[in-house]
Amino acid sequence: MLVDRLAQELETTPDEIERLLALDATALYDDPGYQAFVDRLRGDVLEATVAQVRAAYDHGLPEIKARYALSDTVMSGYTLANWVLGFMMYPDQMRDMLDRHRSVPPDVVSATLPELLDLLDDANVAPEWKHALATFSLPLLAQR
């Protein structure tokens, strides 16, 4: 089900998502298919709407964090939105996200991602931010 959701958000096929998720997480960053998703990110739109996204995340994140025992993490609407923006602005540092999320198992990322994507519906910036969040999350879901 998550594969289908990611395929929808990234405008690709479920087979392509499955292919990418089967890669080693670090190798995924170098994959041409993954790089195509990164290249489609629209930094101007993301930057112009970051305040709306932070507010949507701040509203919904506490419940998600409580449900998945993530309450002791630094994740807030501000940090999540900034990590996604930073990912787009500094693609040479994308791999750093793997180390920063080492303590978060891929199954937790998999469980929370649909809810995080749903929160973006409230931000009225869904297409650009959903694409960015899905792109950001793929390596966190891949083989580690």
pLDDT value at residue 90: 80
- From 94, 78, 19, select the one nearest 6 (Cα to Cα): 19
> For residue 19, which amino acid is it?
R
pLDDT value at residue 123: 79
- pTM score above 0.85: yes
pLDDT value at residue 56: 93
- CA distance readout (Å), 15 to 33, 69, 136, 140, 143: 12, 32, 19, 18, 16
pLDDT value at residue 122: 74
For the stretch 15-45, pLDDT in tens is 999 999 999 988 999 999 999 999 998 888 8
pLDDT value at residue 36: 95
How would DSSP label each residue in 22-56?
Answer: TSBHHHHTT-HHHHHHHHT--HHHHHHTHHHHHHH
pLDDT value at residue 144: 62
Distance CA 144, CA 140 (A): 8
Q: Within the chain, what is the greatest distance between any pair of CA atoms? A: 37
Spell out, as residue ranges, where the chain has pLDDT lower than 50.
none
